[in-house]
Chain A
């Protein structure tokens, strides 16, 4: 926990996504780093978010049936014979 003048945990958790994306100003980042260094709860929250992103990263995009891609393939072949 940090001093009462600092950012609260309730505020910190709303900044963690930006924090992981390196999308917060340097001064705010320094305050967050200082908070995280002494707050177990926010550190757990940060790790939860990291894990969430990791799980998402293992998902795979749905496969498109080849038959559905045929119109695009034919369009490519037509375009190639026109331009070639």
Chain B
């Protein structure tokens, strides 16, 4: 087990196999909100999403012996969940095109094109500079109101964009974990995160600029 980056996960799996309910429920509490959102992308209702998550946990418990630590535990759990939710969605006759989850705005520029020079030697360079946030007081940057702005934007993003940002930047997962958990290509993971971050940044820019 030496050197395995998922040694802590293997240890947790041992605890679960030994019947440690506290350790299990802690894991459930931590992952449940995200699992519900991910399942909901593929199925028709919140109730069906809840069933998928419940089925996933049963699958996890029954499959604990087969977890080998070749991915993180949470990635492994999300793979099981995604398979269940996708299968369930298909049985419901739902076909969910990737574009409807990812959004159709992946090529939108991060900054207003009017902020760049259009012609001449310096085409593509700034015509008006973005504001410098390094001067923002810490309590302003991290205020409850600022965080509420971010929460609002996340609620409006296409679900896959929002989830990639939540897992990467809120929950601190690695890009590889997110890619595997959500069944995304490496490129898609990067593009979705870039787009989501760009939209949040833009909302913050408006918010800081308005005051």
Residues on A lying within 8 angstroms of B by beta carbon are: 1, 4, 8-11, 13-14, 16-18, 21, 23, 39-42, 44-45, 47-49, 51-59, 61-62, 64, 68-69, 71-73, 75-77, 79-80, 83-84
- Check: B198 CB closer than 8 A to any chain A CB: yes
B188 to chain A, nearest CB (A): 13
What is the 8 Å Cβ interface bit string for chain B, positions 89-127, against chain A (1 contact, 0 not)? Answer: 000000000000000000001110100100001111110
Question: Is B129 close to A, CB under 8 A?
Answer: yes
CB neighbours (8 Å) of B150 from chain A are: 52, 55-56, 59
Are B124 and A18 touching (Cβ within 8 A)? no
Contacting residue for A18 out of B132, B134, B166, B194, CB 8 A: B194
In the complex, per-residue mask of B179-192: 1 if CB is within 8 Å of any chain A CB, else 0: 00000000000100
In the bound complex, do residue A64 and residue B130 qualify as a contact, i.e. CB atoms below 8 Å apart?
no
Report how far A54 CA is from B200 CA in the complex, Å. 11
Question: Shortest distance in angstroms between B24's beta carbon and chain A's nearest beta carbon?
Answer: 5
What residues of B have a CB within 8 angstroms of the CB of A41 in the complex? Answer: 125-126, 129-130
The 8 Å CB contact of B125, one of A1, A21, A72, is A1
Query: Is the Cβ of A61 less than 8 Å from the Cβ of B130?
Result: no
- Residues on A with C-beta less than 8 A from B54 are 71-72, 75
A64→B122 contact, CB < 8 A: no
Pair B33/A62 contact, Cβ less than 8 Å: yes
Q: Taking A17-B194, A23-B190 as contacts, is the C-beta distance between A45 and B147 under 8 angstroms?
A: no
Tell me the chain B residues, 124-145 only, with Cβ under 8 Å from chain A: 124-126, 129-134, 136, 141-142
* Chain B nearest CB, measured from A63 CB (Å): 8
User: Residue B71 at the A interface, CB < 8 A?
Assistant: no
CA distance A42 to B151 in the complex (A): 26
Chain B neighbourhood of A52, CB < 8 A: 150, 197, 200-201, 204
Question: B25–A69 contact, CB under 8 A?
Answer: yes
Known pairs A9-B125, A52-B201; A61 contacts B171 (CB<8 A): yes
**Is A56 a contact partner of B28 (Cβ separation < 8 A)?**
no
Binary interface profile of B, 47-80, with partner A (CB < 8 Å = 1, else 0)? Answer: 0001000100110011000000000000000000
Residues of B within 8 A of A8 (CB): 116, 123-125
